[in-house]
A and B are shown apart, each in its own frame.
Chain A
Amino acid sequence: MQDVLRWPLVGRVLRWRRLRTFTQILLLIVAILVVAHGLLGPDLAPKNLATVLTWVHYRGLLIGALLAAGNAFCGACPMILVRDLGRRVHRPTRHWPRWLRRKWAALALFIAVLFAYELFDLWSWPAATAWLVIGYFGVALLVDLTFTGASFCKFVCPVGQFNFIASTLSPLEIGVRELAVCRGCTTADCIKGRSAESAAPHPAQRGCELSLFQPLKAGNLDCTFCLDCVQACPHDNVAIRFRVPGDELADDRRRSSIGRLSQRADLAALATVFAFGALLNAFAMTGPVYTTERWLAGAMGTSREAPVLALVFAIALGVLPLTLMAGAAGLTRQLAASPLRVRDIAIRYAYAFVPFGVGVWLAHYGFHFLTGAGTVVPVTQSAAIDAAGSALLGAPDWRWLGLRPGTVFPLQLGATLLGALGSLVLAHRISERDHPGAPARAAASWSLVIVALTVLALWILTQPMEMRGTGLGG
């Protein structure tokens, strides 16, 4: 097993006890810049750090890091740094309510953020972007100063849920080095942590706040890559290892704090919304979306965007996936003579959409990042002029951009097709697991759905982009 923690230089950096705090401080500084410039800087999105850093750089780097390594941005989340500081003043005592210990609330918030992004054109509104960031910090503080552990990360944070789902495609995973060592462990520091009194000769260290018990942990779901477990294990038995990206989505073993994927309707729904949300979010940046919205507005007899957009969301994230999945699951039940209920089949196969979703998110966010990465230079120069009154960092040259869109297009196609291929492989893997007698027949309908979604994604990518901040776009 290749353990990154044992690599000469990288391993030392990753084991550095202050690494998380260091990266959190870096991102906290960025967040402060985003908020300050968003509220006080120019209201033109391309000239404001809030909109440039949030919607061009953060999203692109986040999906890039997830696919190149792991859930690094959750590990470096500055909201948890602020929360930790807050907990020095006020220590929470309540446990997150048992009836809320699923992803339904987070799923609703995830959809709400996607909806707000489109309705309020957050990408064109620096002040609103700044308030969104402030809102995230506020809710994180409110939740985690009320409830113990990482309740916000696990049950609330929409970005976290996005990262958890996408990180199933990461090449790295945190896991135990040798299970035999865990069997002989009597302290379970990886989950319980160590108090200052009981720690000697080791320093005090918290365990996994997301309740992932290392010996029973499988995959990246709910793992924030905080490395608390690495620091906590007194036996140095936690590794960061390479694995086959996406493999865990066909793994139905019982996982610590998660259980079996096949019994988690909420996670299946999250995976589905993740994939169909990728299509919707990309579609919303093209010209045809405005034609569609105007037609719907006419049919509904309204000129307000909110009800029209709500209908688009209901169709794209509700009616369409439910119809396709019910149909595919029904066919699987018939063709493979499955004893499972249609609902249970749909839950099991929902995870197959994740690689496709990751491919589309990468195509979308990667496009903005690769074509606009250089824009941060003149925007920062301009911000310095706003702040200092003189060109401390030089005069901004607004022609700083990135790659040409035509250059990025083949990469977008590659990402989408690779994701679709991964989904097809996963659908077949799930069929082999659940319907070993007829895997090809069981996977046929799902393969058809994935191919249809891929054709739709490719059509969206070929549409002319159209950036508007004017409602229905009259």
Chain B
Amino acid sequence: MSPRVDAAWTLSPSVPSVGPATLTITLRGPGDSAVTGAAVRLEGHMSHAGMAPIVADARERTPGVYDLPFAFTMPGDWVLLVSATLPGGARVERRIDVANVKPAG
């Protein structure tokens, strides 16, 4: 994690279940300035090896705010790995543990 960039996140819905979800990453630089133009990518894995992962690329909704729409494909524990490549080439990474994704419905 770059010390100069803060990556905050929110997950919607906040109680996730199998189906569509959106991870929003907010990148802030020194002085709380928005970090724009980053290439943000999501890689999601289940806690068990061999399961289908999630891969998604972000779109920048507003300056410094990146939406990653994806879908949880199975109930259980997920680990979301977010990597952001900043315009200068620096890389910011964050691991988000999402426990107990509910079955659909």
Chain A interfacial positions (CB closer than 8 Å to B): 44-48, 51-52, 55-56, 121, 123-124, 285, 287, 368-369, 371-373, 375, 379, 398-399, 401-402, 464-470, 473-474
**Across-interface contacts of A469 in B (CB, < 8 A):** 47, 77
Between A and B, 11 residue pairs with Cβ closer than 8 Å are A44-B81, A45-B48, A45-B49, A46-B49, A52-B49, A124-B77, A368-B50, A372-B49, A398-B55, A467-B77, A468-B77
Say yes or no: B79 contacts A44, CB within 8 Å: yes
Docked Cα-Cα span, A375 to B52, in Å, equals 9
CB distance from A381 to the nearest CB of B (A): 14
| Measured CA separation A338–B43 after assembly (Å) | 63
B76 within 8 Å of A (CB atoms): yes
A411 to chain B, nearest CB (A): 16
**Residue from B50, B99, B103 in contact with A46 in the complex, judged by beta carbons closer than 8 Å:** B50
Indicate if B35 sits at the interface (CB-CB under 8 A).
Answer: no
Query: Known contacts A287-B75, A399-B55; is A467 also within 8 Å of B103 by CB?
Result: no
Q: Contacts A46-B53, A55-B50 given; indicate if A466 touches B45 (C-beta within 8 A).
A: no
Contacts of B52 in A (CB 8 A): 371, 401
In the complex, A373→B50 CA distance in Å?
7
Cα–Cα, bound, A44→B53 (Å): 12
Across the interface, which residues of A come within 8 angstroms of B43, CB to CB? 398
A470 contact set on B, CB distance < 8 A:
77, 99-100
CB nearest neighbor in B for A401: B52
Interface size, chain B (Cβ < 8 Å): 20
Nearest chain B CB to A383 CB, angstrom units: 13
Inter-chain CB contacts under 8 Å: number: 85
Shortest beta-carbon distance from B41 to chain A in Å: 11
Distance in angstroms between the alpha carbons of A473 and B50 in the assembled complex: 21
Establish whether residues A466 and B76, one from each chain, have CB atoms under 8 Å apart when the complex forms.
yes
Bound: A465/B52 CA distance, A: 12
Which of chain A's residues has its CB closest to B100's CB?
A: A473
Further 20 A-B residue pairs, CB within 8 A, beyond A56-B50, A371-B52, A398-B43: A45-B45, A45-B47, A46-B45, A46-B48, A55-B50, A56-B49, A123-B47, A123-B49, A285-B48, A368-B50, A369-B50, A371-B50, A371-B51, A399-B55, A464-B74, A464-B75, A464-B103, A465-B75, A466-B76, A468-B100
Q: A399-B55, A468-B76 are in contact. Are A287 and B47 (CB under 8 A)?
A: no
The contact string, 1 if C-beta is below 8 Å from chain A, for chain B 48-83, is: 111111010000000000000000001111010100
B84 at the interface (CB under 8 A from A): no
Q: Mark B29-48, 1 if CB is under 8 A from A, else 0.
A: 00000000000000101111
Q: B74: which of A124, A373, A467 is its contact (CB, 8 Å)?
A: A467
Question: Which residue of chain B lies nearest to A53 when distances are taken between CB atoms in the complex?
Answer: B49
Q: Which residue of B lies closest to A121 (CB)?
A: B47
Q: Which residue of B lies closest to A405 (CB)?
A: B52
Are the C-beta atoms of B47 and A398 separated by less than 8 Å?
no
**Within the assembled complex, what's the spacing in Å between the Cα atoms of A401 and B47?**
15
Most buried by B among A369, A399, A468, A473: A468
Contacts of A372 in B (CB 8 A): 49-51
Contact assessment for A47 and B50 in the assembled complex, using a CB-CB cutoff below 8 Å: no
Contact of A51 among B49, B55, B75 (CB under 8 A): B49
Most chain A CB within 10 A, of B49, B53, B55, is at B49
How distant is the Cα of A379 from the Cα of B81 in the complex, in angstroms? 15
Residues of A within 8 A of B53 (CB): 46, 398-399
Is there an interface contact between A124 and B47, defined as CB atoms closer than 8 Å? yes
Is the pair A287, B103 in contact by a Cβ cutoff of 8 Å?
yes
| CA distance in complex: A379, B77 (Å) | 20
CB atoms of B51 and A467 under 8 A apart: yes
A467 and B76 within 8 A (CB): yes
